[in-house]
Amino acid sequence: MIEAILFAITIILPNLALMGLGFFMQRRGEASQAFIDQASNFVFNYCLPCLLFFSVVDSEVDYAKQFVLIAAGIVVTFILFIGSEMYANRFIRKPADQGVFVQGVFRSNMAIIGLATVANAYGKTGLSVGAVYMGVITILFNILAVITLSRMSKSADDTWVSRSILIIKKLATNPLMIALVAAFAYKALSLPPITGVIHKTGDLLASVALPLALICAGASIDLRSMLSPSGVSMQASIGRIVVAPLIAIAVGFGFGLTGIHMGVLFLMVAAPTAAASYVMAKAMGGNEVLAANILAFTTVVGLFGMAIGAAILRGIGLI
């Protein structure tokens, strides 16, 4: 059991330390909002795409064997989405709160905290498996987010056709999606390995991605929002921190996942609410204050939940 606890500490503590550094820099005035915005854009547009591209291109992972993991992730996502929709329709009165609640429950921060934790746990192999999982599930996340947040739309021009076009445009111009598709195409065509200056430059950019992203995440934490959760935000946070990981374990067990695949599923699902949930809620007329509260609370508390869950699963030999 001691080994399991040390495993959990090893995969979570570096993330907490970097987020703590970001929070410390923000409190000292060394990380302004302009810095956070610019650094986050730099990571999203350049560093993370390089990380994902070279993780896939350089790996020896058999991606045909990831179908069971991806299928399990899709099932978990739909269970969380449908369950939270039913809960929101029955217990949450304001339409502006309902979609934000649902998104806060089913949409996890895979690209930053999920990938960083998987990399800490399983190294380059885990990063490659996690990148494939993230690529597929991200598409599903975006579609479901638009569906649940569209209940606030009052515009006659906002139809299912326009929303579908919006989703396609977002996915087609998403740097992470472009990087993953390019990497899969490169491997499928059996092109020669990328070496020399191009690979070295890509490695340098990739090495910046997760540390800088975690620092920005820490610098973005709103302590007031985190310490003053409302009733709805606390319900969504419980759904994300407690219910989502338990469902991931149950589904993963049902699909027969063990080892790295169970680990990737658990860590990706158990990650805090995605930062993109706030941006999308604000853009589509949802309760942005509620979205910020959910994001802040789950970002900090969720990491401890991930550590506890990882320790238990490691202790019983599932990951």
Q: Is 29 exposed, middle or buried (0-12, 13-18, 19+ CB in 10 A)?
A: exposed
**Percent of the chain at pLDDT exceeding 90:** 25
Tens-place pLDDT, residues 273-289: 987 787 677 767 778 77
CB 84 within 8 A of CB 216: no
Chain centre distance of CA 88: 22
Tens-place pLDDT, residues 222-238: 777 666 666 888 899 99
Amino acid at 227: L
CA distances to 7, 213, 260, 285 from 118, rounded to whole Å, are: 12, 15, 9, 34
Lowest mean pLDDT among 2-6, 87-91, 207-211, 308-312: 2-6
Q: 32 or 159, which is more confident?
A: 32
For residues 298-318, average pLDDT: 87
Nearest to 299 by CA among 229, 241, 230, 235: 241
**Percent of the chain at pLDDT exceeding 70:** 92
pLDDT at 169 over 80: no
For residues 80-89, average pLDDT: 95
pLDDT on residue 179: 87
pLDDT band at 251 (very low <50, low <70, confident <90, very high): very high
pLDDT at 27 over 60: yes
pLDDT on residue 241: 93
pTM for the full predicted model: 0.83
Mean pLDDT computed over every residue of the chain: 85
Q: What is the rounded distance in angstroms from the CA atom of residue 69 to the CA atom of residue 267?
A: 13
CB 248 within 8 A of CB 76: yes
pLDDT at 157 over 70: no
CATH number at residue 69: 1.20.1530.20
pLDDT on residue 254: 94
For residues 250-274, average pLDDT: 93
CA distances to 12, 77, 315, 316 from 5, rounded to whole Å, are: 11, 28, 8, 12
Q: What is the rounded distance in angstroms from the CA atom of residue 55 to the CA atom of residue 216?
A: 22
CB 274 within 8 A of CB 291: no
Q: What is the rounded distance in angstroms from the CA atom of residue 69 to the CA atom of residue 118?
A: 14
pLDDT at 156 over 60: no
pLDDT at 130 over 70: yes
pLDDT at 306 over 80: yes
Tens-place pLDDT, residues 45-72: 898 889 888 888 887 766 667 899 999 9
Domain ranges, residue 124 = 2-315
pLDDT at 162 over 80: no
Q: Based on the structure, what is the number of domains in the chain?
A: 1
Q: Which two tokens stand for residue 310?
A: 């990882």
Which of 91-105, 139-153, 211-225, 290-304 has the highest average model confidence (pLDDT)?
91-105
